[in-house]
Structure 1
Amino acid sequence: MKYLRQFSIILFISLIGEIIHLFVSLPIPASIYGLLLMLIGLKTKIIPLCAVEDASIFLIEIMPVMFIPAAVGLLDSWGILGPILVPFIVITLLSTIVVMAITGRVTQFFIRIDRKRKDKENE
C-alpha cells in the first residue's frame, strides 16, 4: 500500500506537469515541468522525502527494463538505420562526450561554490 501511495504522488506531480505543459506554450517537455515541481516540492519540504523515497528507488532500479522497447524499436528499424549507421554512431558518441563534459564542468562549479560557502561558515 505504501508503494501505491508513493507512486500516486509521483504520478500526480507528473499530471500537474502535463497540465502546465498544456497551458504554457514553451518548447519544454511536460516531464521537465513535473521534475521541476518535484524538485521544488522536495526542497521546500512540501513533499517530504519519505513520501516518495521507496517508490523512487524502485523506479530507478527497474529503469534499464524501460529501455528494452526502445532497443527493440531500433532493431525493428534496421533497414532504415543500416545505411546511416556510421554517422549515427559518430553523432551519438560525440553528443555523449559533450554532455558528459558539460555535466562534469557544471558539477565542479557547484562543488566549488559549496566548498567556498562551507569555508566561509567555518571561519
Structure 2
Amino acid sequence: MKTSKHDVHKFDPYIKFLGDKKAVIGFAIVMAIIGISLSIIKSDWLWFSRFGSLITIAGLLLLSSPSFMKGIYLSNASAFGFASLDEDGNTRVTNEEDRKLGSKIFSGIVITILGTVVWGFGDLIGKLC
C-alpha cells in the first residue's frame, strides 16, 4: 500500500532519525562529555550548564518521538480505520484536522529546541562580536 502524498509532511525524510532512542541517548551522552570536558579545560562549569540545554533537547526528542517515527501527519492520524483513496489512487489515512495537529506539534517541537539552544548559548552571541 503506497502512502498518499497528503499523509507525508515535507520534513518527514529529515526528522525520522530524531525518534531513534539509541541515537538520541548517544547525543545526550556526547553533549554531557563535551560539556564536562570544556568545563575542565576552561575551569568554568558554566559550559556544562550550557550543554545541559542540549541534553534537555534530547529528552524533548524522546518525549516527542511518536511524532517522528511514523511521520508528522501519520503519527496523529485518527482515521486509520477509515482510510480512503486520494486523487492519485494512494491510500490516505489522515484528514485535514490530523494534518493541522501534526504541523502544530512539529512547530512546537522546533520552537522548543530553538528556545532551549538560545537559553543555553544565546549570551555567547555578544562575545563573538
**If the TM-score is normalised by the length of the shorter chain, which range does it land in?**
0.3 to 0.5
Higher-Rg structure is 1
Larger proportion of helix: 1
The TM-score with structure 1 as length reference comes to 0.33
TM-score (norm 2): 0.32
